[in-house]
Amino acid sequence: MRGVALLAIAAWGVFSRDARAEEVAVPEGLQAQLVGKMAAYDRAFAARAGERAHLLIFEKPGDADSARTAAHLEAALRALPDVGGLPHDETIVTWAGAAALPEAVRARHAAIVYFTPGFAPDVEAIRTALDGVDVLSVTAVPDYVPRGVVLGFDLVGGKPKLLVNLSQARTQHVAFQAEVLKMAKVYE
Amino acid sequence: MRRDALRLALVLACLAGATTARAQSTGGDTSDLQGLLDETVVTTATKSAETGTSAPATSTTITADDLRRYGIHTIAEAIDFISLGAVTADPLSTVEIGARGVLLSADSGDHFLLLVDGHAVNEPLFGAARFDRGAGIPIEMVDHIEVILGPGSVLYGSNAMLGVINVITKRAKDWHGTHVAVEGEGGQLQQDTAHLAQLPNDIRSKLDGWQTSDAVGLLSWRVMGGVGYEVPLFGKKAEITAAVEYFKQDGPAFTFGPQYGGIDVASGRPVQYDRPPLPATGYWGGVADQSYYVREPGAQVHVVWGDFDLNVHASTFQRETPYRGRFTHSDVDFNDPSSYDLDRSLWIDLRHHAALSAVVELTSRAYADTWDYRDTLDASEISACITLPLQGSNPTCTYKGEFASRWVGLEEQISFDWLKDDSLVTLVGVDGRLRFVGSKLDTSDFATGRPVASSTGLIHEYDQALGVYAQQTWQPTRWLGLNGGARFDEETRYTGNVSPRVAATANAWRGGTFKAIYAEAFRAPSWIETNFSGPLQIPGGNLEPERVRSIEGSFEQRFGAQRLLFGAFRSWWSNLVEWHQLTPDEQKAAAASGQYNGLVDYGVGQFRNLASVDNFGFDAAYEGSAGLTQQLRWGMTVTGAIARRNDPDGTTEPLTVGPQVFGNAHASYDLPGDWPMVAVALHWMGQRYADRAFDGAWPSALLPVAPPQLELRATISGPVPQAKGLSYRVGANWALADQGPYVVGPAQDWSSQVPPQLVPVDTFRVMAGLQYDLLP
């Protein structure tokens, strides 16, 4: 009985914590593989990336979910032999606000920017900031795609599903092949 | 049959090749991407999300799309038509489930652990879980079903001996709006499966009124309503997914018998198998047109708010079995509409997930369950009522059993991702439960309803159960994954029980994965087995948990959107709890010690740890898809297994009921636009020994064996043209063999000199349904 009481106290401590969920539906390892493949179906990717693809993974300061996902994504992406057929490197970047985003992309010559959980209040600002910026934005959180991130992944029926925001893709000069769009849930 | 399956596979492969070639010729070779999108994500094997390829288990994922396109209504159908390695059998009461050649009949499903959104359903009194309509989960709300083969106690404790089935319900985003569905199944209302029309005239003359008709009509119908909405709640997004359903089935009316039971020794008249005023003819059987039905209302609710996840389930499952069998109402009047079984289930499960840091995650879970079971049986056979003080010369007695399980529990689970890259993760958990189990058996006079004897079979017990588990995963290199863990379980009736698992997964080359797994699992004896005392049962007492050890290896190759798997397994089962009929000396000793009342002088038994089972075999699966939107999908599985039961006296015999060779195949094509989806699925089983094959002393020429079975289902589904939101599904189901592996009727062994009769199978049904989805 004492053990059960201790469990109850522990459970109450956790339940009373102010929490927020932005669910990462697809395991990061599988997301990384999908990103590596999807980049190859972006007709503008090679020109954008040049000889080497630079990926920036944005992490929200003080957010354990975000930090955890960023670390997992970095490790999973690092394990890929190529991204869109190119050698690549990944960097975790601490979020400094949407206003600094375009400059970060240009300065680091990023071909892909990846948003981890924790950016729900910032998605619209991110979308606006990336208008006209030549970059593929990707997210681990399915909810962000209809709100303005170009590519994301959901889990439906125990299998991954591609999510594409097509209007935002055009704005960011991302041009996925039509065959790939037929396999995705497309938001206009 | 194997040749037919091979031909089907070749046709599918040719179709796939043609479609893939067409895709390539248009410059769009997306097969690698399709392969990734066909990767399943499973959470059951390690309690964390991972791909099916890397999980330390052989698994099948059955998606909501699969359920709809192949006309699936229940978990059992999904297992038979789509899953690898598992199979069910239907005794016309609740379906039984087995895997890899082991199906332990009359086990209430207690060798497979059933989870719904991670919540364990098997209860402690019988260990029962239902896999048919009795699961009470509206099928439209199911997102996918994970079927994990092999021992799974390492993380889940008792009952996970054959495997773990986890039913994952939909999230609001995947079932947005309001949904209403109605469907019905029809067929021949009366089916002469006992071939009464072919009986000799001298027998027919004694069976007045046993003729059947050829009428067709509605056999079952179902209505479902559900919602999926996302709403803001206290500043956070909340989502609710909920569905309610009602299912009603009446018939078909199967024919049984005639089985001649002779003269009742007590009354000197022919045995009374029917309810008076019907005469005592000594013949059991006829047209069971009032005693095969199901009523099932069920509801499932899933609420997500922030990091909280709430699941609530409520259902009842009333059914009647249209025959008497060894464990199925062995004395019930034939065609009695007032005898039935009833399950009632209500549970709630609240889960909270928290990432405490980049390294530490904590999952907390609180749950409460109540389950009860009622069994009502009316019997007019003199031997069933002879010890009771009943009125009249031809009385009927009523037995009512009431059984209940209630439990509450807390589970805490913490994981440490030491290197922050998922390569070295430690999971530790503790799951504690407080439980109550109770039972009683009452007898009354059917005519007056008055009790005629004191309650028997009394159980009224409280206990605690504790499980502590740990799991370590390690990926030392990109191509190698290791998994090791163990769970310690203890409860009032037995001391510590350890269930280990070690597994290795190696990606040998592109798309090629080897797995090797060693695992152990156990089943705590049910309280009915250890504590129940009835007119024909003395308590089992200090039974040991059943145990299974298993080793398996598999190889999987993915090429584009196609997947090929082959695996081999061997398992050793020990301490199997089985019914033991006492010898006359044992019965005298039990009566002398007061373990039973001594009023019945034959048939008293006890559950004991008796048998062991050796089991080995292979699983194979091939599946794939083709087309840019995966218009064409196909899959097939085959399992071959040898399972032999070893008795304490040294005798060895095959296991009954479960097939040694079985499998399934399915294919579907999604026609363009508003044209329908066309799907065909089949499942097949080899010859099966009936449940009484080896303990009925049958002459070898009459050994009860169910013939091979091939069940074929064709389904067409799609949107109704010009009716936005409205969709339809129609289908038909054929079964080639009309007998299953259960001996029915009073002739349960050769002592009556009556040849065995096997349970009938409904051989043809048509189905039609409409669904309306109102999207906001």
Question: Residues B657-671: pLDDT tens digits?
Answer: 999 999 999 999 999
Query: Taking a C-beta distance cutoff of 8 angstroms, is the pair B35, B561 a contact?
Result: yes
- Per residue in B82-114, pLDDT (tens digit) is 999 999 999 999 999 999 999 999 999 999 999
pLDDT of B474 higher than 70: yes
| Average pLDDT, integer, range A112-127 | 96
Mutation pick from A2, A33, A68 vs chain B, by most beta carbons of B within 10 Å, is A68
User: A21, B42: Cβ pair inside 8 Å?
Assistant: no
Q: How many CA atoms lie less than 13 Å away from B286 in the CB half-sphere? A: 20
Q: What is the pLDDT of residue B17?
A: 47
With CA atoms as reference, the chain A residue closest to B366 would be A11
pLDDT of B19 higher than 70: no
B369: closest CA among B393, B405, B340, B339? B405
> Does an H or E element contain B46, and which?
none
- Name the strands in the sheet holding B283-288, side by side, starting at the edge strand that comes first in the sequence: B190-191, B253-260, B283-288
Q: What is the pLDDT of residue B3?
A: 53
**DSSP conformational letter for B270:** B
Rounded to whole angstroms, the Cα distance separating A30 from B680 reads 31
Query: What's chain B's average pLDDT?
Result: 92
- As to burial, measured by CB atoms within 10 angstroms (0-12 exposed, 13-18 middle, 19+ buried), residue B593 is exposed
Q: Which CATH class is domain A24-187?
A: alpha beta
SS (H, E, C) B452-500: CCCCEEEEEEEEEEEEEEEEEEEEEECCEEEEEEEEEEEECCEEEEEEE
- Per residue in B675-697, pLDDT (tens digit) is 999 999 999 999 999 999 999 99
Angle at B174 (CA atoms; ends B170, B176), nearest 5 degrees: 110
Chain B window 437-476: which residues touch A at a Cβ cutoff of 8 Å?
464, 466
Q: What is the pLDDT of residue B15?
A: 47
Chain B window 477-516: which residues touch A at a Cβ cutoff of 8 Å?
478
Rounded to whole angstroms, the Cα distance separating B323 from B285 reads 8
Q: What is the pLDDT of residue B7?
A: 55
Q: What is the pLDDT of residue A22?
A: 75
Chain B window 36-75: which residues touch A at a Cβ cutoff of 8 Å?
36-42, 49-51, 54, 61, 63-66
- How far A97 CA lies from chain B's nearest CA (Å)? 21
In the structure, what pLDDT confidence band is assigned to residue B601 with cuts at 50, 70 and 90?
Answer: low
pLDDT of A152 higher than 80: yes
pLDDT of B221 higher than 50: yes
Cross-strand bridge partners of residue B164: B113, B148
CATH superfamily of B2-774: TonB-dependent receptor, beta-barrel domain (2.40.170.20)
| Average pLDDT, integer, range B614-624 | 97
With CA atoms as reference, the chain B residue closest to A15 would be B352
Query: Taking a C-beta distance cutoff of 8 angstroms, is the pair B555, B513 a contact?
Result: yes
> Does an H or E element contain B746, and which?
none
- Per residue in B558-572, pLDDT (tens digit) is 998 899 999 999 999
pLDDT of A10 higher than 50: no
pLDDT of B12 higher than 80: no
Predicted ipTM? 0.90
Of A26, A158, A183, the CB nearest to B629: A183
| Average pLDDT, integer, range B443-447 | 92
With CA atoms as reference, the chain B residue closest to A23 would be B307
The torsion region of residue A2 among left (phi > 0), alpha (psi -120 to 50) and beta comes to: alpha
Q: What is the pLDDT of residue B20?
A: 44
Rounded to whole angstroms, the Cα distance separating A153 from A33 reads 11
Residue identified by tokens 């289908």 is: B731
Mutation pick from B37, B175, B350, B412 vs chain A, by most beta carbons of A within 10 Å, is B37
pTM over 0.90: yes
**Residue type at B466 in one-letter notation:** L
Q: Strand B163-169 relative to strand B142-149: parallel, antiparallel, unpaired?
A: antiparallel
- Per DSSP, which regions of B511-670 are E strands? 512-523, 546-559, 562-581, 605-626, 632-646, 652-654, 661-670
Q: How many CA atoms lie less than 13 Å away from B246 in the CB half-sphere? A: 1
Residues 6 or more apart from B239 whose CB is under 8 A from it?
A: B171, B172, B173, B228, B229, B230, B231, B303, B304, B305
With CA atoms as reference, the chain B residue closest to A4 would be B432
Q: What is the pLDDT of residue A11?
A: 46
Torsion of CA B139, B140, B143, B149, to 10 degrees: 20
**DSSP conformational letter for B278:** S
